[in-house]
Amino acid sequence: MAFPRHRPRRLRVNESIRSLVRETGLVPQDFIYPLFVVHGKRVRREIASMPGNFHLSVDELVKEAEGAYNQGIPAVLLFGLPKKKDREGSESFKKAGIVQQAVRALKKELPDLYVITDVCLCEYTDHGHCGKIVDGRVDNDQTLKLLARQALTHAEAGVDMVAPSDMMDGRVAAIRQALDDEGFSRVALMSYAAKYGSAFYGPFREAADSAPAFGDRRSYQMDPANAREALREVAMDIEEGADIVMVKPAMAYLDVVRLVRERFDVPVAAYNVSGEFSMVKAAERLGWIEGRRVMMEILTSIKRAGADIIITYHAREAAEYLKHKL
Ligand code: PBG
């Protein structure tokens, strides 16, 4: 295959031929849209570090989710901000907790929208860690009980899928078991299987008010230097009953997305996290990049790396772009 007989540029002369040979296409059905729900009524407060994303009260959340659904985005991922935080994160497993209220409202108003909840304690604990603190450390096995309890209250509210993001060992099995024992075998589980201890979560911790009060998350989230370990984490979660496995963050971990895609046959999700999103917005504001094109390039790369599902704050903007462009 040598020049001059072969000229790759022949297949790039105009958009028509480029579109025929394009290997990776995006559709709104690839996206999960994360949303932050708060107490109150008619609250729609923009999150400063994440332009275009809001703290939404349940009434406003339903509107936002409906808008996304009408654009073809099939699913939302909910995060809750409680009224009060305490040591055990007890609002996370209250029947009338904010996420539980949100799930009930969404399933009532938009029954076909697929509702996923993040299952974790960090937004609900006064210390901001993802588990229960015992003797100054995040205790794995005691945390499992709280996570299972939280997942059950989401199931009772009617959630379609739960997504544990805490990175405790054994939490997929603990949650799956609790759901099955209580008659919720229909509820699916997406695990944040390879979740790295990443500085890319910075804006989220402002959005979810979940920065740890002491230390960091490195005793439970993965070391960014490790890829083989991700395969072990993913294998364990599938064994424990995960229906979908996730790699997080996405952009700086596309090699891990690819490795997971090649090794396993379950659907793979990648989380295009808050810091990845905010960097695009910030650089765009400074006039340094063309934000929309960079957004589409990033999302396309995540899909090209092998993700079936992309969790992204760009979901609505990207869906809008795809509608007019395609
Ligand atoms: C909760 C959780 C986090 C994110 C999703 N679930 C934050 C963290 O682990 O510190 C990050 C999402 C994002 O940055 O967009 N454990």
Ligand 1 touching residue 251 (CB < 6 A): no
Distance 173 CA to ligand 1 centre (A): 21
pLDDT, position 172? 98
Residue 124 within a domain: yes
pLDDT per residue over 154-182, tens digit each? Answer: 999 999 999 999 999 999 999 999 999 99
What pTM value is reported for the model? 0.97
The SS3 of residue 265 is coil
Per-residue pLDDT for 326 more than 60? no
* Residue closest by Cα to atom 14 of ligand 1: 201
User: What are the residues facing 270 on neighbouring strands?
Assistant: 247, 310
**C-alpha–C-alpha distance, residues 40 and 280, integer Å:** 31
Q: Report yes or no on 15 lying in a domain.
A: no
**86 CA distance to ligand 1 middle (Å):** 19
Residue nearest to atom 2 of ligand 1 (CA): 165
> H or E stretch including 220?
none
Task: Name the residue range of residue 183's domain.
Answer: 23-325
CATH of the domain at 75: 3.20.20.70
| Ligand 1 nearest atom to the CA of residue 198, by list position | 10
Select from 35, 301, 310, 25 the least CA-distant residue to 190: 310
For position 206, what pLDDT does the model report? 85
Q: Which residues belong to the active site?
A: 195, 248
Cα-to-centroid distance, 26 and ligand 1 (Å)? 24
Q: How many domains does the chain have?
A: 1
DSSP 3-state of 26: coil
Check residue 1 and give its pLDDT.
84
Q: Is the CB of 78 under 6 A from ligand 1?
A: no
Is the pLDDT at 48 greater than 60? The verdict is yes
Residue 126 is predicted with a pLDDT of: 93
Does any domain span residue 5?
Answer: no
* For the CA of 166, the nearest atom of ligand 1: 16
Which residue from 46, 5, 217, 198 is spatially nearest to 128, judged by alpha carbons?
217
273 C-beta closer than 6 A to ligand 1: yes
Q: Can you tell me whether residue 232 is helix, strand or coil?
A: helix
Q: Does residue 12 lie within any of the structural domains?
A: no
Mean pLDDT within 133-137: 93
Identify which of 183, 195, 214 has the alpha carbon closest to the alpha carbon of residue 252: 195
What's the CA-to-centroid distance between 15 and ligand 1, angstroms? 38
Predicted local confidence at residue 325, as pLDDT: 78
| CB of 165 shorter than 6 A to ligand 1 | yes
Residue 47 Cβ contacting ligand 1 at under 6 Å: no
Is 1 contained in some domain?
Answer: no
Q: Is the Cβ atom of 122 under 6 angstroms away from ligand 1?
A: yes
Smallest CA-to-CA distance from 155 within 94, 103, 191 is with 103
Mean pLDDT of 139-158: 97
- Quick check: 268 pLDDT over 80? yes
Quick check: is 228 in a domain? yes
pLDDT of residue 219: 93
Q: What is the pLDDT of residue 127?
A: 94
Mean pLDDT of 18-45: 98
Taking only the tens place, the pLDDT of each residue in 240-260 is 999 999 999 999 999 999 999
Residue of 204, 221, 247, 272 with the most ligand 1 atoms within 8 Å of its CB, for mutation: 204
Contact 62, 93 (CB under 8 A): no
Tens digits of residue pLDDT in 95-111? 999 999 999 999 999 99
Residue 123: inside a domain, yes or no?
Answer: yes
Q: Is 120 in the pocket of ligand 1 (CB under 6 A)?
A: yes
Q: What count of residues does the chain have?
A: 326
Q: Give the tens place of pLDDT for each residue, 280-301.
A: 999 999 999 999 999 999 999 9
Residue 84 CA to its chain's centroid (Å):
24
Q: What is the pLDDT of residue 134?
A: 93
- Kindly report, residue by residue over 194-234, the tens digit of the pLDDT: 999 999 999 998 898 899 999 999 999 999 999 999 999 99
Is pLDDT above 90 for 236? yes
Question: Is position 4 within any domain?
Answer: no
Ligand 1 atom at shortest distance from the alpha carbon of 201: 14
Nearest CA to ligand 1 atom 7: 201
- 204 CB within 6 A, ligand 1: yes
Distance in Å, CA 204 to ligand 1 centroid: 6
Closest atom, ligand 1, to C-alpha of 123: 1
